[in-house]
């Protein structure tokens, strides 16, 4: 290149070298002959050549390898045609290294509009490209797409107040190339309204301090789109340290901001999901605690106590359970659980001063009448003053520092059994709709448990009533003998058992009966009634022990029922000299009576016979023994002995239990009570599944 073209080029160029040198990217300017006429500091850093070494040399030969000649020739041709070319090229460093470079080539024109050269804006993206290749296997959402070529520059002249925008900067703002006038007001108008103050404040601080600034902001493009930009600027100072202008560059960071926002949303969503999972787990654990409390409750008072204490403090600082004893009740029973025992005492005192009024519009009576939930997230003064009884409400709210309240009905179907109230005090959290749902679930479970308990109590009452009707109401007085009977219903005792006993007068003697009908419920009750009636009728008509069982067997077969029973039938006849009784006994498949002599000798009396009600041909043999003063006869049903190993009793163990129970006893009741204690020691009655009937006859 001759000196003249270079001079012409320099004369036509308007760009301040300081502006070009301030750019973070390599800027190389070439003449028509493709010789380098401008080489900024960044070009020195990127390509390794100093400005003195580069000026005047052919740019293509110096920087472009053979593999990129076609691409660069095409780019230069397009630029010389007036277009701008941007793309990635592999260029050569001074030391021979290949560089991945992002190049933006723009035409450079003189005042006459003639293209006098090419501006190469280059950025070494070797490391960035390497990282991108290394991250290629990462998920799509983790990749950061950067438009490394989208860099716009500007120059502000303080003296004129005008700003020069390069084409890329105008593109970033969505403005047509060459459409900017360079005024400050024009720049302000291009900023997003919500970010104008922030951007201008950053610029003005830098102007005042003569420093740099960095700001991220939005722009509202003319087409209505909003983009995020990152702007960096540096104040330019003269020799006296005065600000004469500023230069800077701007890039589009929309993708990064959106990615950050997306990551934040993902993080927030993850936190929300984790919180939701935690709350769900805690609620399930709490409901499990409530279920355990209900499973351990056998009465409605235990339900009230166990559940309310389980609910505090998980669902509130205090919990009140109010339960109507039955459908006719108008005033419920209450139980209060509170984290503070003094607060509980105060609540009870308030309830005592203000008795329950079923017709009141206060929360509890209203819930019980309507069955509807009441929820007050915050108990404010207006709400208290508007209550039906503001004085009572104010004392409760102020005395207990009440803040938030949930009231739910204990409802089973259409029936309201009571209500539960959950309260948080001042300093605790306010209840939410989720807490209301949880409270309603708890109330539903409590109501179901209370309803089950009521049904079970009704069934037990019916069973006890029927059972009592099947047993003698009074025992006859036998001169010379002491009688005691016991009937122990085991398990839940919701069905009539088949165990029965009877003692009745036969003129000159007495009949003693112990029996056990197979099964429970109505069939067993009917069979028990048949057995007692048949035994009494046969005995009163003069039948002996074996004949009584034979007639009972026939009656049961004729009844058409598919059940059977075991029976021990005995008669005791006073001896002529008054020293005792003659015992005649017969067994129809029933455990044999156990006789404990006054000497402590224990024996089983009689021989086993055929079950009653199964076969038409039966065998029952009578056995006679004498009962003397101090002797004790024990008749029992198989609930005493027939339990699962290892709790079952052998004949020897039963004999020992009878002997110990009779030793030193002076009454039949004392023997019966000792036998009960012994049976309980082997296996509690509550854990047994077969009722027990016991009859003790002690000769005095």
The CATH number linked to 125 is 3.30.450.20
* Residue 408's CATH number: 3.30.450.40
* pLDDT higher at 21 or 577: 577
Nearest Cα to Cα of residue 679 among 697, 698, 653, 700: 653
Helix (H, G, I), strand (E, B) or coil at 345: helix
Residues 100, 199, single domain; the answer is: no
**Pairing status of strand 226-237 against strand 243-252:** antiparallel
Residues 514, 618, single domain; the answer is: yes
Is a pLDDT exceeding 70 seen at residue 11?
no
> Residue 459: what pLDDT?
64
Residues 123, 222, single domain; the answer is: no
Residues 179, 248, single domain; the answer is: yes
Give the pLDDT band of residue 211 (cuts 50, 70, 90). very high
- Dihedral angle, C-alpha 48, 51, 57, 60, nearest 10 °: 50
Q: How many domains does the chain have?
A: 4
> Residue 518: what pLDDT?
87
Q: What are the distances in angstroms from CA 421 to CA 292, 338, 344, 493, 551?
A: 20, 12, 14, 34, 64
Q: Structural domain of residue 314, as residue ranges?
A: 292-460
* pLDDT higher at 9 or 570: 570
* pLDDT higher at 260 or 350: 260
Most trustworthy range by pLDDT among 134-143, 291-300, 423-432, 518-527: 291-300
Is a pLDDT exceeding 50 seen at residue 141?
no
* pLDDT higher at 274 or 13: 274
Residues 297, 438, single domain; the answer is: yes
Tokens of 444: 């539903």
Is a pLDDT exceeding 50 seen at residue 290?
yes
Least confident among 200-209, 421-430, 556-565: 421-430
Is a pLDDT exceeding 50 seen at residue 5?
no
Residues 407, 481, single domain; the answer is: no
Residues 292-316 have a mean pLDDT of 89
Task: List, for residues 148-194, the tens digit of each pLDDT value.
Answer: 557 899 999 999 999 999 989 999 999 988 888 888 888 888 899 99
Please state, in angstroms and rounded to a whole number, the distance separating the CA atoms of residues 184 and 189.
9
Using a 10 angstrom Cβ sphere, with 0-12 exposed, 13-18 middle and 19 or more buried, the burial of residue 339 is middle
Residues 73, 215, single domain; the answer is: no
Most trustworthy range by pLDDT among 409-418, 493-502, 630-639, 645-654: 630-639
> Residue 4: what pLDDT?
35
Determine, yes or no, domain membership for 265.
no
* Residue 557's CATH number: 3.60.40.10
Residues 299-303 have a mean pLDDT of 89
> Residue 143: what pLDDT?
29
Residues 358-370 have a mean pLDDT of 86
> Residue 400: what pLDDT?
64
Determine, yes or no, domain membership for 174.
yes
Percent over 70 (pLDDT), the chain: 88
Determine, yes or no, domain membership for 144.
no
> Residue 482: what pLDDT?
96
Residues in CB range of 19: below 8 A, 6 or more apart:
153, 155, 247
Determine, yes or no, domain membership for 642.
yes
Which of the listed residues 430, 460, 490 is the one where a domain comes to its end?
460
Determine, yes or no, domain membership for 379.
yes
Is a pLDDT exceeding 90 seen at residue 253?
yes
Determine, yes or no, domain membership for 112.
yes
* pLDDT higher at 520 or 267: 267
> Residue 322: what pLDDT?
92
Give the pLDDT band of residue 685 (cuts 50, 70, 90). confident
Please state, in angstroms and rounded to a whole number, the distance separating the CA atoms of residues 510 and 337.
59
Determine, yes or no, domain membership for 661.
yes
> Residue 464: what pLDDT?
58
Tokens of 220: 């509202």
> Residue 603: what pLDDT?
97
Which of the listed residues 139, 174, 206 is the one where a domain comes to its end?
139
Is a pLDDT exceeding 60 seen at residue 465?
no
Average of per-residue pLDDT values in the chain: 86
> Residue 191: what pLDDT?
92
Give the pLDDT band of residue 649 (cuts 50, 70, 90). confident
Which of the listed residues 415, 441, 460 is the one where a domain comes to its end?
460
Residues 202, 348, single domain; the answer is: no
> Residue 242: what pLDDT?
93
Residues 537, 619, single domain; the answer is: yes
Residues 48-65 have a mean pLDDT of 92
Tokens of 647: 């709790």
Please state, in angstroms and rounded to a whole number, the distance separating the CA atoms of residues 456 and 417.
15
Residues 70, 97, single domain; the answer is: yes
Residues 163, 131, single domain; the answer is: no
Determine, yes or no, domain membership for 267.
no
Is a pLDDT exceeding 50 seen at residue 634?
yes
Residues in CB range of 533: below 8 A, 6 or more apart:
none
> Residue 646: what pLDDT?
83
Task: List, for residues 525-562, the tens digit of each pLDDT value.
Answer: 788 888 999 999 999 999 999 999 999 999 999 988 77
Residues 121, 34, single domain; the answer is: yes
Is a pLDDT exceeding 60 seen at residue 33?
yes
């Amino acid at each position: 290149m001759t000196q003249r073209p270079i001079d012409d080029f320099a004369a036509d160029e308007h760009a301040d070298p300081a502006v070009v040198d301030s750019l973070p990217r390599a800027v190389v300017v070439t003449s028509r002959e493709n010789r380098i006429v401008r080489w900024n500091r960044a070009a020195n850093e990127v390509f390794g050549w100093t400005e003195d070494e580069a000026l005047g040399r052919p740019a293509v030969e110096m920087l472009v390898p053979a593999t990129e000649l076609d691409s660069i020739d095409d780019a230069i041709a397009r630029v010389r045609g007036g277009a701008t070319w941007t793309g990635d090229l592999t260029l050569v460093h001074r030391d021979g290294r290949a560089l991945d470079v992002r190049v933006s080539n723009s035409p450079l024109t003189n005042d006459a509009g003639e293209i006098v050269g090419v501006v190469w804006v280059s950025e070494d993206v070797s490391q960035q490209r390497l990282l991108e290749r290394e991250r290629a296997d990462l998920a799509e959402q983790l990749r950061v797409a950067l438009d490394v070529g989208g860099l716009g520059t500007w120059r502000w002249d303080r003296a004129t107040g005008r700003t020069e925008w390069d084409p890329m900067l105008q593109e970033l703002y969505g403005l047509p190339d060459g459409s900017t006038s360079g005024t400050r007001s024009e720049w302000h108008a291009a900023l997003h309204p919500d970010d104008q103050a922030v951007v201008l404040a950053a610029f003005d601080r830098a102007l005042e301090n003569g420093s740099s600034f960095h700001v991220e902001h939005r722009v509202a493009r003319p087409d209505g789109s909003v983009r995020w930009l990152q702007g960096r600027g540096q104040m330019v100072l003269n020799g006296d340290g005065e600000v004469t202008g500023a230069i800077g560059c701007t890039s589009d960071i929309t993708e990064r901001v959106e990615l950050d926002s997306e990551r934040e949303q993902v993080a927030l969503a993850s936190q929300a999901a984790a919180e939701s999972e935690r709350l769900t787990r805690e609620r399930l654990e709490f409901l499990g605690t409530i279920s355990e409390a209900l499973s351990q409750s056998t009465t409605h008072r235990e339900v009230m106590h166990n559940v309310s204490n389980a609910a505090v403090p998980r669902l509130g600082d205090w919990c009140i359970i109010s339960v109507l004893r039955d459908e006719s009740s108008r005033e419920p029973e209450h139980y209060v659980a509170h984290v503070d025992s003094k607060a509980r005492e105060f609540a009870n005192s308030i309830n005592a001063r203000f008795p329950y009024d079923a017709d009141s519009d206060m929360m509890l009576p209203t819930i019980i009448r309507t069955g509807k939930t009441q929820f007050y997230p915050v108990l404010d003064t207006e709400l208290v003053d508007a209550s039906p009884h503001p004085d009572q409400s104010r004392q409760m709210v102020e005395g207990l520092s009440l803040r938030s309240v949930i009231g739910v009905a204990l409802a089973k179907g259409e029936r309201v059994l009571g209500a539960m109230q959950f309260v948080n005090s001042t300093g605790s959290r306010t209840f939410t709709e989720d807490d209301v749902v949880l409270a309603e679930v708890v109330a539903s479970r409590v109501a179901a448990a209370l309803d089950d308990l009521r049904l079970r109590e009704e069934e037990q009452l019916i069973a006890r009533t029927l059972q009592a009707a099947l047993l003698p109401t009074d025992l006859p007085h036998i001169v010379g003998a002491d009688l005691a009977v016991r009937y122990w219903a085991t398990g839940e005792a919701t069905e009539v058992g088949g165990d029965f006993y009877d003692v009745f007068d036969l003129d000159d003697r007495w009949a003693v009966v112990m029996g056990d009908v197979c099964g429970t419920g109505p069939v067993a009750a009917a069979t028990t009634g048949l057995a007692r009636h048949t035994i009494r009728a046969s005995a009163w008509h003069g039948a002996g022990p074996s004949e009584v069982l034979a007639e009972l067997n026939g009656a049961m077969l004729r009844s058409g029922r598919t059940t059977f029973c075991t029976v021990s039938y005995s008669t005791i006849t006073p001896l002529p000299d008054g020293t005792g009784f003659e015992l005649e006994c017969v067994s129809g498949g029933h455990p044999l009576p156990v006789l404990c002599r006054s000497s402590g000798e224990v024996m089983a009396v009689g021989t086993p016979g055929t079950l009653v009600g199964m076969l038409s041909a039966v065998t029952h043999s009578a056995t006679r023994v004498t009962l003397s003063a101090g002797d004790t006869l024990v008749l029992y049903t198989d609930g005493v002995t027939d339990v699962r190993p290892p709790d079952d009793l052998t004949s020897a163990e039963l004999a020992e239990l009878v002997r110990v129970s009779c030793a030193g006893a002076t009454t039949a009741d004392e023997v019966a009570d000792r036998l009960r204690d012994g049976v309980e020691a082997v296996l509690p009655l509550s854990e047994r599944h077969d009722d027990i009937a016991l009859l003790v006859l002690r000769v005095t």
